[in-house]
Chains A and B, each alone.
Chain A
Amino acid sequence: EAGVTQFPSHSVIEKGQTVTLRCDPISGHDNLYWYRRVMGKEIKFLLHFVKESKQDESGMPNNRFLAERTGGTYSTLKVQPAELEDSGVYFCASSSGQGINSPLHFGNGTRLTVT
């Protein structure tokens, strides 16, 4: 079974530019999550999709961040315009269910650097 795949693995952009991160979950996983780790801080929850619907977006930092999951398959996370404090590692995870016996499977992350 293929794991969670994230593209790109690294992205370096200038302040004010736009970046789009992509996540392909494990096939058949309805639940998709975005987390991020800003330099020196904890990994923090951003949002949770169930299929194409946002179940919880309480962790999204501001309206410069837009997450979509059209068709309930892959997801994109767009940052527009990017700011310096957006630098960090963005993780995507997926799970088949929401119960405790449905663990999250994480991708390798996208390292975003805003200069």
Chain B
Amino acid sequence: AQSVTQLDSHVSVSEGTPVLLRCNYSSSYSPSLFWYVQHPNKGLQLLLKYTSAATLVKGINGFEAEFKKSETSFHLTKPSAHMSDAAEYFCVVRAIKAAGNKLTFGGGTRVLVKP
């Protein structure tokens, strides 16, 4: 069984300040972890993925995430928020032994960027 908990349902940051979105997971197997973003009226876009290679993963638009097995965490960060980062972000886990691409989503974190 696997599950994902996003610790904040809403995060508000000022433009130019760092962004931190927290995610904890549980999985019976070695997991693959993803962050997706959904802008208003758009589909889910893959930001980055962790697949048991480097623990620090760099994604698009300046985002990165660090896999910490001891803490079962996969927090998403960005050094400097931009107005275009306002969106909802989803932490997602897939157990490597699972067939297909059945994904388990966290509840989402809605990011507000203030000018």
* A interface residues with partner B (beta carbon < 8 Å): 3-4, 9, 31, 33, 35, 41-45, 48, 50, 55-56, 91, 93, 95, 98, 100-109
Instruction: A109 to B44: give the CA distance in the assembly, Å.
Output: 9
**Which B residues fall within an 8 A CB radius of A?**
32, 34, 36, 41-46, 49, 51, 90, 94, 96, 99-108
Select A45's contact among B44, B96, B103, beta carbons within 8 Å: B103
The answer to whether A48 touches B43, judged by C-beta atoms less than 8 angstroms apart, is: no
Decide yes or no: A102 and B101 within 8 Å by CB, A42-B106, A42-B107 being known contacts. yes
Q: Which 8 A-B pairs rank lowest in CB-CB distance, beginning with the nearest?
A: A106-B44, A43-B105, A106-B43, A108-B43, A98-B100, A42-B105, A100-B51, A48-B100
> Please, which residues of chain B bring their CB within 8 A of the CB of A42?
105-108
Residues of B within 8 A of A33 (CB): 101
- Set of chain B residues within 8 Å of A31, measured between Cβ atoms: 100-101
Compute how far the CA of A45 lies from the CA of B102 in the bound complex, rounded to whole angstroms. 7
Q: Could you say which residues of chain A place their CB within 8 Å of the CB of B49? A: 100, 103
Q: Are A100 and B106 in contact (CB under 8 A)?
A: no
Using Cβ atoms and an 8 Å threshold, which residues of chain B touch A91? 43-44
Residues of A within 8 A of B104 (CB): 45
How far apart sit A109 and B106, CA to CA, in the bound complex (Å)? 18
A31 to B108, CA, bound (A): 25
What are the residues of chain B within 8 A of A43 when measuring CB–CB?
90, 105, 108
Is A55 a contact of B41 with CB atoms below 8 Å? no
Are A56 and B102 closer than 8 Å at their CB atoms?
A: yes
